[in-house]
Structure 1
Amino acid sequence: MRRRVVGIETEYGLTCATRSGAPPIHDADAAARLLFAPLALSGRAPNVYLRNGGRLYLDVGAHPEYATAECDSFEDLLAQHRCGDELLNQLNDRTRAELEGLADPERIYLFRNNVDSAGNSFGCHENYLLHRRRDFRQVAQGLVAFFVTRLVLVGAGHLRRSGNKLSYCFSQRAEQMWEAVSSATTRTRPIINTRDEPLADAGQYRRLHVISGDTNVCEATTFLKVGMTSLVLDAVEDGMNLSDLELADPMLAIRQVNQDLSAQVKIPMAHGGELSALDIQERILQRVVDVLGIDINDSSCDASTRQVIDLWRRALAALRSGDWSSVDRELDFAIKFRLIQEYLKRKQTTLDDPRVARLLLSYHDIGPNGLRSGLESSGLMRRLTTEEQVQQACIQAPRSTRAHLRSSIINAAETAGIELAIDWVRASRIDDPGRYVLMNDPFATESESVDQFISGLRARDEFLPA
């Protein structure tokens, strides 16, 4: 697997509830403002770049959002992704005293999910750095079938309501998509966003912005999602052609795939004939292996590639057999399905029991009452990070990407008491906007211009009173 810069943006669900069950004083908007109040009190807007190179902000619709720093290893990415939960839980801890002091105590709950009870959707966006090429839109169109059918492997699982009937499906996000490829994000919600915003040297790079994926709870599912996509992009860059897998109607297909737990219902193809989600994924996997010359039994095969291919194959085999037990500790949809089946059997109840809805919400709860920590500690959900790695990721940027430079600037500015205007590629001083530095290379970990900019910040620090 070749080196590629990847990042994940996660929008969190948020609600506020009282201890008594009565309507809370704080609606979602007020609760979100309260959650981010510590940042405002410290003189920082609710949109900050952090010492770990990531970004924490309040998005439209009262959704807290965390964007990881640029990562070029799965170890860094998973730790950075998980530390978003940790950072928001730290903010939430600071609200407890104020909310507990109310006549009817309240609590803010945060969720890694993609849809609320009113049907509103919020996303998990994946970003993959690509080398710029003229046929980008054609490449994006060819990837649509991969992303439509990928949800049978990495969907978070969802109880779908149709009239009075509830049924289990693969994805929370799938049926919120309305276009295959588009430059818009909120108006049409495309599977692939083609807005040309590389956040890097535009002459060399382009960013693949995928907004159709679910927010995963299990780290192994996130690993597969990003790993299989990275391998597909490697193969496309080496000439893999997916044009024969173009779907006749991607928006109809994504809904059909989502509702078919066998993953074997046939989908009309643009060039005639029909294939199932399983057929498409199996063909793509085989092409990836062939184009990249992957042999997971060869000692030269890197560990990440070996693990991705192994889980990808096992997941497809589990779907083909209809027995998900071999992956029901690694893939969200299977873990959640197992929990539901066990609960229904134990309680002798049905899917429309409100306790089932509470169980599923608890699956996505990132707070101390959520199910994830218990599932992980009991071996019922595979974890790939350690607590130490996550804590480190909250304060330290990956050392092998541009995030290291941004982090160094932020640390120096905070030490010197200098305010910055900063984003993914640029940093400038608020008190002297003409003094700025650009960071256009996402792979750069050293920069003479960054060193000079930091020296200017430290020069100010030398004259501060002791």
Structure 2
Amino acid sequence: MTVFTRRIMGVETEYGISGKLSPEETARYLFRPVVAQHSSTNIFTRNASRLYLDVGAHPEVATGECDSLHQLLCHERAGDLMLTDLAVQAEQALADDNIGGQVYLFKNNVDSVGNSYGCHENYLVGRDTVLKALGKQLLPFMITRQLICGAGLYRDGQFLLSQRADQVWEGISSATTRARPIINTRDEPHGDSERFRRMHVIVGDSNMSETTFLLKVGSTLLALEMLEAGYELPDFELDNAISHVRDISRDATGATALRLKAGGEVSALAVQKAFCEAARRWLAEREQDSDLDYVVDLWERQLTAVETQDFSVVDTEIDWVIKQKLLRRYEGKASEAKLAQIDLTYHDIRPGRGLFSVLEKRGLARRVSTDEEIRAAVDTAPQTTRAALRGRLLTRAEELGKQVTVDWVNFRYGADRVELLDPFAAADERVDALIAALEAGDE
């Protein structure tokens, strides 16, 4: 089986939207500048990400191809900033139209009436990887991963670890909305289909915490690497994985018993500990990566916190722990409606207004990126992958006022088309020629 120690990955984030008008009308104001410039609500931007309005009036940003955790984090947060800038413009347009009101964007996964929207992770795997077989080995890790990277949810007087756990209904499936599986097997590699597959993970929560985001993606990268390499891991194949996912979300001790296909039971915490311990050993064998060193350190500390129920060592680094600590400050003092409002406002992406951003500013939520890195990621594509080529073409076309058409694989200018099947390629003479034709005005 192909083993990738340098791996292409990306994240698709859907946002909740609210304002004085209906979500649909508010979204139209939000995308007004995009439509004015591109005559579409579905575009690729200068930083090689895809920005579009998804079904249900949900703004969505899909990052360009990234090959490091920190790079992916910065481009994921750049999506927040891009939409915040659009929201500010929308508020001005609403004021100009004598409507007024604020535009709220929430990076969460469920609204007040129970509608769910996703945060999907994409990982490049080799074509020789059978996703269903890999998925069976990964499912125990995936359903228990909420212990370390859930976003937390206060609902009906109960605190849940994950916002998405109650929204998934299958383990492995080609569906995305009808059944909402944990792992989607639809074969869209966005690359050479003879070399690559794309593993599409649907179960994860959207994270406000940068460190939780790193842990979510980094732990999954390490699990993939170990499984691809045939690294020794316990056999945790479950009798019915999906039947446990909601119970785990309601048990912060990790004691939820999971039924093994081979017979017997194992706790959710024990599954995570086994993967984490293996990942610590694997780090000694793979090439060094400071981001992954931090991931395993945080992973270990979070599992110890779950086991001991002393979360003081991670209460600035894990989303659900940060949120639960915040909510406990108001227990017995605030109504159910007020606690639900605090939960929602935690996910407001507007700096200075969203509660998470306030906690971050006060040092109560750890940060690993800088404002400068995120602002740079708004205008600049990842420079070590195919995204760099898409970003170059789009930026030059915008500067020249020319029209080009791109998707994840294809670049077009006039009658010329370049197909880029290698997502690792950050340079290509054909794209250079396309840009030269663009500059010369040759269509």
Common fold, TM-score beyond 0.5?
yes
Distance 1:193 1:243 in 2: 24
* Alignment of structure 1 residues 115-126 onto 2, 5 Å: 115-126=110-121
Gaps of 5+ in 2: none
Distance 1:325 1:121 in 2: 31
- Give the deviation of 1:340 after TM superposition: 0.6
Distance 2:398 2:379 in 1: 13
Provide the secondary structure at the position in 2 that maps to 1:419. Answer: coil
Aligned position for 1:371: 355
Aligned position for 2:15: 12
Does the Cα contact within 8 Å between 2:29 and 2:94 map onto a contact in 1?
no
Q: How many residues align?
A: 439
Does the Cα contact within 8 Å between 1:183 and 1:194 map onto a contact in 2?
yes
Aligned position for 1:228: 219
Aligned position for 1:436: 417
Provide the secondary structure at the position in 2 that maps to 1:94. Answer: helix
Distance 1:393 1:286 in 2: 34
Aligned position for 2:93: 98
- Give the deviation of 1:353 after TM superposition: 2.6
Q: For residues 317-339 of structure 1, give each alpha carbon's deviation from its aligned partner in whole angstroms, at most 9, with x where no partner exists.
A: 00000111111100000000000
* Alignment of structure 1 residues 61-460 onto 2, 5 Å: 61-101=56-96, 105-161=100-156, 166-240=157-231, 244-291=235-282, 293=284, 301-344=288-331, 348-349=332-333, 352-368=335-351, 369-429=353-413, 432=414, 434-460=415-441
Provide the secondary structure at the position in 1 that maps to 2:360. Answer: helix
- Farther-moved stretch of structure 1 (1-10 vs 444-453): 1-10
- Farther-moved stretch of structure 1 (265-274 vs 314-323): 265-274
Q: For residues 66-103 of structure 1, give each alpha carbon's deviation from its aligned partner in whole angstroms, at most 9, with x where no partner exists.
A: 01111111221111010111101111111122323566
Gaps of 5+ in 1: 18-25
RMSD, aligned α-carbons: 1.8
Instruction: Report the residue type matching 1:248 in the other structure.
Output: D
**Residues 1:2 and 2:10 are matched in the alignment:** no
Q: For residues 98-144 of structure 1, give each alpha carbon's deviation from its aligned partner in whole angstroms, at most 9, with x where no partner exists.
A: 32356663221000000001100000000011111153320122111
- Give the deviation of 1:33 after TM superposition: 1.1
Aligned position for 1:23: none
Q: Which of 1 and 2 has greater Rg?
A: 1
Provide the secondary structure at the position in 2 that maps to 1:388. Answer: helix
Does the Cα contact within 8 Å between 1:114 and 1:172 map onto a contact in 2?
yes
Provide the secondary structure at the position in 1 that maps to 2:441. Answer: helix
Instruction: Indicate how the Cα distance of structure 1 residues 126 and 276 shifts in structure 2: closer, same or farther if over 3 A, else same.
Output: same
Distance 2:277 2:244 in 1: 22
- Give the deviation of 1:240 after TM superposition: 2.9
Does the Cα contact within 8 Å between 2:29 and 2:93 map onto a contact in 1?
no
Does the Cα contact within 8 Å between 1:142 and 1:243 map onto a contact in 2?
no
Does the Cα contact within 8 Å between 2:279 and 2:296 map onto a contact in 1?
no
Does the Cα contact within 8 Å between 1:427 and 1:437 map onto a contact in 2?
yes
Does the Cα contact within 8 Å between 2:91 and 2:100 map onto a contact in 1?
no
Instruction: Report the residue type matching 2:435 in the other structure.
Output: I
Distance 2:198 2:134 in 1: 13
Does the Cα contact within 8 Å between 1:235 and 1:292 map onto a contact in 2?
no
Distance 1:104 1:353 in 2: 31
Q: For residues 141-188 of structure 1, give each alpha carbon's deviation from its aligned partner in whole angstroms, at most 9, with x where no partner exists.
A: 211111100011100001233xxxx21110010110000000110010
Instruction: Indicate how the Cα distance of structure 1 residues 235 and 156 shifts in structure 2: closer, same or farther if over 3 A, else same.
Output: same
Q: For residues 172-218 of structure 1, give each alpha carbon's deviation from its aligned partner in whole angstroms, at most 9, with x where no partner exists.
A: 10110000000110010000000010001111111110010000000
- Give the deviation of 1:436 after TM superposition: 0.7
Instruction: Indicate how the Cα distance of structure 1 residues 99 and 310 shifts in structure 2: closer, same or farther if over 3 A, else same.
Output: same
Q: For residues 430-464 of structure 1, give each alpha carbon's deviation from its aligned partner in whole angstroms, at most 9, with x where no partner exists.
A: xx3x3111111111011111111111111118x9x
Does the Cα contact within 8 Å between 1:5 and 1:443 map onto a contact in 2?
yes
- Farther-moved stretch of structure 1 (379-388 vs 415-424): 415-424
Instruction: Report the residue type matching 1:372 in the other structure.
Output: F
Instruction: Report the residue type matching 2:344 in the other structure.
Output: L
Q: For residues 37-72 of structure 1, give each alpha carbon's deviation from its aligned partner in whole angstroms, at most 9, with x where no partner exists.
A: 111112331111011111110001000000111111
